[in-house]
Amino acid sequence: MGCITSGDQPTYLSVVELCDDFPYGPASQTYYQLYLPNDDRPYGFMTPEVVGKMPWTPDFAVHHDAPRSVTVLDASDGEDTAAAINSAFAKLVSICIDRDLFHVLCRQHSEPVAIVGVKYSQPVVVERFAASLFGVMSRGAHLVAYSVREGKKSVWVSRRSAHLYTYPGMLDVTVGGGVKSGVPPLETIVQESEEEASLPEDLIRQRARPRGVVSHMSVTGKDFKGEKGLVVPDYIYVYDIEIPQDIMPRPFDDEVESFYCMTIGELQAALLRMEFKADSAAVMLPFRTRPQ
């Protein structure tokens, strides 16, 4: 989906469309829907290219006739369905890594992320790097830090390091990260705040405030280093925090190049210049007018 513009100028709707461009309607029928055992709800959308390249094991049933589908089978016959699903995904992803089949895997294993909404008593997980191959929902947590001086708000914005796999060198929220399976969003914020921005745990726990959830469903495009057309649904748990003027975020690990303190006007201009990582821009949009 292309950007909607006013003349030659991007609009805030253009910013939203960069991270919410799944082709709803007839075009979505080209994807294979991912199903779990004894559940009629799809949990992911896979491209025909990925389905054709995937080294399917006997733990999966693939149907190419419309409606296209991939179903995980229950090798436990109901004794421990979640464990059977987790084992099926783990074996398949390991084969893909060993054979170096997909760019997004980077020939590496990654931390587990939970598949959202499953009805089993135990979590169902897939490796984070592989989530986009199956088109399953991911979860993230973002923190926007700001300071107030003489009644005017300034926002702390990070610049992503140039070596990162996704959105290298682009602007980002103050702190952000993927939510691992079994880890609450706030704990993700606490951990990432220290690792990315050198912000102390007690400050985050005392002052960070939940601001809701941003959901979007995007498709990897021409600027993505890995496979194109992958479906990336995401829930982002949003927090903000007012930090004292004598505290400044500072890079700690190698994921952040630098931090900038932007006025609201500077933030608005950077958003419209499309300088932000796409989902982070969607998080920042309501913040630009949010009261203190």
Summarize pLDDT for 236-283 with one digit per residue, the tens.
999 999 999 899 999 998 999 999 999 999 999 999 999 999 999 999
**What is the predicted pLDDT for the residue at 25?**
84
Q: Is the pLDDT of residue 212 over 60?
A: yes
**What is the predicted pLDDT for the residue at 9?**
76
Alpha-carbon gap, residue 215 to 56, rounded angstroms: 30
Summarize pLDDT for 35-61 with one digit per residue, the tens.
999 999 999 999 999 999 999 999 999
**What is the predicted pLDDT for the residue at 55?**
98
Give mean pLDDT, residues 176-184. 94
Q: Is the pLDDT of residue 184 over 60?
A: yes
* Helix 264-272, helix 278-287: angle, nearest 10: 140
- Percent of the chain whose pLDDT exceeds 90: 84
Alpha-carbon gap, residue 292 to 174, rounded angstroms: 17
Q: Is the pLDDT of residue 228 over 60?
A: yes
**What is the predicted pLDDT for the residue at 6?**
44
**What is the predicted pLDDT for the residue at 264?**
92
- Percent of the chain whose pLDDT exceeds 70: 96
Summarize pLDDT for 18-34 with one digit per residue, the tens.
889 999 888 788 999 99
**What is the predicted pLDDT for the residue at 3?**
41
| pLDDT band at 289; cut points 50, 70, 90 | low
Q: What is the mean pLDDT of the chain?
A: 92
Summarize pLDDT for 93-123 with one digit per residue, the tens.
999 999 999 999 999 999 999 999 999 999 9
Alpha-carbon gap, residue 227 to 103, rounded angstroms: 7
Contacts of residue 68, defined as CB under 8 A and 6 or more positions apart, other chains included, come to 29, 30, 31, 32, 33, 48, 51
**What is the predicted pLDDT for the residue at 1?**
33
Q: Is the pLDDT of residue 203 over 80?
A: yes
Alpha helices in 108-228 (DSSP H): 131-134, 185-197, 201-207
Neighbours of 101 (CB within 10 A): 15
